[in-house]
Amino acid sequence: MPLHDWSNLSGWEGVHLLWIAELLRHIKSELPTGFRAFLGSGPALAVGAPSVRPDIAVRAHENTEPLATSGQSHTTEPDIEVAVAELEPAPALFVEHDNRLVAAVELVSPRNKDRPFARATYLNRYVSYLMEGIHLMLIDVHRRPAGFSFADEIAKALHFDDSALPAPMCVSYRVGEPAATGGRLLAIWRRPLSSGAPLPKVPLPLDIDLEVEVDLEATYHRAAADAYLT
C-alpha cells in the first residue's frame, strides 16, 4: 500500500499503534538468537535540557498568611502555581541484547514537532540514543511543519555536514567503532519517502556487523489495512 498523505488525513494515532506493533512482529521474526524486541514508552536518556521554555500558564497568589510553624498541619498558599505543558510519550520499539539496549525504532508523531519545546525535547531524545551508542531508526511520514526535519537537526546537533532530508523520510543510524580522528563512526542510511509511492526496506543495525532489514512497505500496509485506510 502506498504511503498516504498525512497532511490532511485523520487517524494517525491508531495507525501509529498498529504500525509500531507490526514493526515489532516483523523485527522479532528476523532477530538473531540472543536479541529481544519489545515496545516501551522510552528510556530516560538525556544529553542536556531543552534550550527553550515550554508553554506554561502561571497563576500568582498574594501570600499574606504566615508560614506554618513546626507541628502545624495547615499548608500555606504557594506564591505561584503553574500548569506545565506535558508531552505524552508514544510507544517506541526497542531491541536488547544481554540486558542492554542496542537499538530503537521511533515513529514520529505530529505532536513530537508541533512546538519548539516538543522539537527540542525529542531531538534531545534522538541524539541521546546515538551518544549512548544505541543504533536508531527514525521514521517520519508527516511533512509539517514545513522546513523542519529531525534528520537535519540531528546532523546539526552532532556537527556533521549532510544534505537536507525533509519529511516524509526514514533515516537509520549505526553507531560504530572509534574513529581515527576521535569520536565514533556513524553510518547513516537516508531514505526520502513520498505520499502515493511504496515505502522502502531500510536496515536497522544491531551491532557493527549485524542488521535487520525492515520492510516498511509490508508493515505499513498491514497497519493501514487494519485501520481501514484505502
pTM, to two decimals: 0.83
Judge whether 62 lies within some domain: no
Burial of 21 (0-12, 13-18, 19+ CB in 10 A): middle
Domain containing residue 221: 12-52+87-226
Give per-residue pLDDT as tens, 108-151: 999 999 999 999 999 999 999 999 999 999 999 999 999 999 99
Radius of gyration of the chain (CA): 21
Judge whether 74 lies within some domain: no
Number of domains in the chain: 1
Judge whether 180 lies within some domain: yes
Q: Please tell me the predicted confidence (pLDDT) of residue 181.
A: 83
Judge whether 103 lies within some domain: yes
Judge whether 69 lies within some domain: no
